[in-house]
Amino acid sequence: MKFRAHVEPPEPMRGLEVPSEVVAALGGGPRPPVTITVNGHSWKSRVALLRGRHLLGLSNANRQAAGVAIGDEVEVELELDTEPRVVVEPEDFAQALDADPVVRAAYDDLAYSHKREHVRAIESAKKPETRRRRIEKAIATLRG
């Protein structure tokens, strides 16, 4: 589904406003997971509902990759994202999860975004000991 939108300044959120009729036509509810394409650059996100408006967040990285600037009017192609979102666990984290069935079950029950944050924290460690501590912290958190 295509529509035109202006790249809005970050007050309170930089983004692209999605017409309500477009959101309704997608059929995924008020905050559907979507694939967004602007100027040939695609990314996955979710439609946000902010102050009664449907918005697509537009990070600096996606704005630059799409070659757009604040104030530009752009054509947006929006598709309902029906693919399951999968987080690939690093091997050392997967081994720690698999060592305790309760922890593995707790992790598997997490939303995609929470899984992604655990993995991001672990993979952003610069030192092996920091990585190990972050894995231990994630396991402790999942244990409850």
pTM of the model: 0.68
Are 54 and 115 contained in the same domain?
no
Are 41 and 99 contained in the same domain?
no
Q: What does the DSSP assignment read for 10-79? A: SSS--EEEE-HHHHHHHTS-SS-EEEEEETTEEEEEE-EEETTEEEEE--HHHHHHHT--TT-EEEEEEE
What distance in Å separates the CA atoms of residue 2 and residue 41, rounded to the nearest whole number?
Answer: 14
Domain boundary residue, one of 33, 48, 80:
80
Interval 41-70: pLDDT, tens? 999 999 998 888 899 999 889 999 999 998
Residue 85 lies in a domain: no
Residue 86 lies in a domain: no
Among residues 99, 93, 100, 88, the alpha carbon closest in space to that of 134 is found at: 93
Helix (H) or strand (E) holding 94: helix 91-98
What distance in Å separates the CA atoms of residue 15 and residue 10, rounded to the nearest whole number?
Answer: 7
Residue 107 lies in a domain: yes
What distance in Å separates the CA atoms of residue 27 and residue 1, rounded to the nearest whole number?
Answer: 12
Contacts of 34 (CB under 8 A, 6+ apart): 26, 28, 44, 45, 46, 47, 56, 78, 79, 80, 81
Are 60 and 117 contained in the same domain?
no
Residue 136 lies in a domain: yes
**In angstroms, what is the C-alpha Rg of the chain?**
19
| Structural domain span for residue 112 | 91-143
Residue 109 lies in a domain: yes
Residue 33 lies in a domain: yes
Please check the confidence at residue 90 and state whether its pLDDT lies above 70. yes
What distance in Å separates the CA atoms of residue 89 and residue 44, rounded to the nearest whole number?
Answer: 19
pLDDT, mean over the chain: 94
Query: What confidence score (pLDDT) does residue 22 get?
Result: 96
Are 54 and 123 contained in the same domain?
no
Domain boundary residue, one of 30, 48, 80:
80
Residue 13 lies in a domain: yes
Are 70 and 128 contained in the same domain?
no
Query: What confidence score (pLDDT) does residue 12 get?
Result: 60
Are 72 and 6 contained in the same domain?
yes
Number of domains in the chain: 2
Please check the confidence at residue 14 and state whether its pLDDT lies above 90. no
